[in-house]
Structure 1
């Protein structure tokens, strides 16, 4: 039996919960299905299923192989559909991964809009700030910030977010004026914890480049917490514009030194490197590529 058919039967056994149920679906005998799975295990050199007289249980290796097998089968079906010129139905589940702050502030609403447009698609949005292995964790599409990307993926640079220096109007009124980057040394600087540059900030304009050593008593490794600190008025700090642009627009925060630039933060669409993708995945990628660059504080990447 060919490998694709073996994978398909294995996934159906797992999903239906027994050899006999899979055999009935295939209009064949239970011993035939059992032999196929046993042959697959011998070929792989691992045990995929623990069998008892009353149940089947996936081993750890079997669980991982099942997730990968489902993807292979989906890709094969889409490849056949592409060759035959068929249009796949927009249905099924997508696992999406994104950073916590960007996901909560900006992406959540976009994905709800996508679901409203495509009622047969389901989305599971997983928010974390770790760089994860997309294939190992079963992620279909990820949105990542910066240039640190997961291994073995396709990454498409779709947008960037300029970094801005901000403070509340109240903080500005009671504090020493900030006319040049060097003035930051006299201020309580709130920053994101764990960044490679540490307390050093680089500013540039058309004529000069300045590196400033900032000082401050508080650092936090959460973009949403950083946003709250800015609003509390306990100091000033820098952030990618996607995190604070709405607050600048309403006047809750003021951008300082607008003629000075800092390094922008890149936004990438990331997905496993595979030739064939389900139509739902391609549709979501197209949707995000078109909409994310127009979110507050973001601009389209220069191609």
Structure 2
């Protein structure tokens, strides 16, 4: 049995969730993948995968074996690169997870530049707004907003973005801009659908006020909020990274600029396992430098 090949098939089966996806990626057939993994289970004497017509998932033993197998493959790849005289950090696959809006609006361009610089690298960028299980879902690097972070990961704060009240000139012609925080209740406030209640906390230096808002539209995507603002649909409290370009182009106006919301913090997360691939460390270091220069990020 080709152990390295078997481990690679197993790791990718866990990450992709199907034999057919592994077969397509590895340019082979689904029966071949199934046969290789069945042989691996026979050799170990342990059932690693639960199979059904609709899904594929790792067993409890399989999840533990997955983490060890992934580390073995990472070390093997670096050993091969080292003996060939290649840069171990600049080859291999990285799985990266990030919020949808940040990924589409900004992070995707960084990844494209990263891939151009390192032609032996591969990146899977998975965008969603839920907190992923880094080990179970095989993520090397995760970007997350806010402070509610998992306990089983190493978190590195890489920046924060002030939240501004913004609206389009067209909207403000129909609804004069608020001059005091309490006047916000008179406006159509667009908010993130899962943000909780309708109150907003605003700060002006040491002063802090909680104001009531009302609005007819809630949406669970920051890019949709950005687009709605451009259409003149209302007023919203947005992180500067999301709207700085529109404010600079005068397509949106920064309303009550002395008042802002709580800054949106950004963290880099990675698994708290002892071994971390050199390529992941390199990616994290470069991403952190890029984020520090990102407009709207402090």
Query: Which range moves more in the overlay, 152-161 or 63-72?
Result: 63-72
Query: What corresponds to 1:11 in structure 2?
Result: 7
Say if 1:154 and 1:271, in contact at 8 Å, map to a contact too.
yes
The 3-state SS of whatever aligns with 2:149 is coil
| Residue 152 (structure 1) aligns with | 152
State the number of aligned residues.
272
Q: Which residue of 2 aligns with 1:239?
A: 238
Q: Distance in 1 between matches of 2:36 and 2:177?
A: 75
Q: Distance in 2 between matches of 1:204 and 1:13?
A: 53
TM-score calculated relative to the size of structure 2 = 0.79
Distance 1:186 1:272, change over 3 A: same
Aligned to 1:3: none
Q: Which residue of 2 aligns with 1:215?
A: 214
Q: Secondary structure at the match of 1:162?
A: strand
SS at match of 2:241: helix
- Shift of the 115–76 alpha-carbon distance from structure 1 to 2, 3 Å rule, reads closer
CA shift in 2, pair 1:289/1:38, >3 Å: same
1:111 aligns with 2:111: yes
Residue 295 of structure 1: aligned partner: 294
* 1:201 maps to 2:200: yes
Deviations 1:227-248 (A, max 9, x none): 1111111211111111111111
Using the TM superposition, give the Cα deviation of residue 176 of structure 1 relative to its aligned residue in structure 2, in angstroms.
2.8
Do structure 1's residue 134 and structure 2's residue 134 form an aligned pair? yes
Tell me if the contact between 1:192 and 1:221 (Cα under 8 Å) persists in the aligned partners: yes
Q: CA deviation at 1:217?
A: 1.1
Where in structure 2 are the equivalents of 1:4-83 lying within 5 Å? 11=7, 17=32, 38=42, 40-41=44-45, 46-48=46-48, 60-61=58-59, 64=63, 67-77=66-76
- CA gap of 1:188–1:49, structure 2 versus 1, over 3 A, is closer
What is the CA–CA distance in structure 2 between the aligned matches of 1:287 and 1:21, rounded to whole Å?
37
Taking structure 1 as reference, are residues 70 and 160 closer, same or farther at Cα in structure 2, changes over 3 Å only? Answer: same
TM-score scaled to structure 1, two decimals? 0.78
Q: How far is the alpha carbon of 1:8 from its aligned partner?
A: 5.0
Q: Which runs of 5+ in 1 are unaligned?
A: 1-5, 23-33, 51-57
Q: In the alignment, is the contact (CA less than 8 A) between 1:155 and 1:268 conserved in 2?
A: yes
SS in structure 1 of the partner of residue 273 of structure 2: coil
2:8/2:73 contact within 8 Å kept: no
Contact 2:47 2:62 in 1 (8 A): no
Corresponding residue for 1:224?
223
Q: Give the Å deviation of 1:261.
A: 2.5
Map Cα deviations across residues 73-100 of structure 1 (whole Å, 9 max, x no partner).
035548989xx9x962521111110000
Q: Which blocks of at least 5 consecutive residues in structure 2 are unaligned?
A: 11-25, 51-55
Which residue pairs with 2:23 in the alignment?
none
Q: In 2, Cα distance between the equivalents of 1:98 and 1:223?
A: 13
Quote the residue 1:122 is aligned against: 122
Q: Where has structure 1 moved over 6 Å in runs of 4 or more?
A: 78-81
Q: 1:109 to 1:9 in 2, by over 3 A?
A: closer
CA distance in 1, matches of 2:9, 2:173: 69
- Aligned-residue offset at 1:218: 1.0
The 2-side partners of 1:155 and 1:262 are apart by 23
Find the residue that maps to 1:149 and give its secondary structure: coil
The 3 A distance-change label for structure 1 pair 10 and 209 is same
CA deviations 1:155-176 (Å, max 9, x no partner) are: 1000101100000012112213
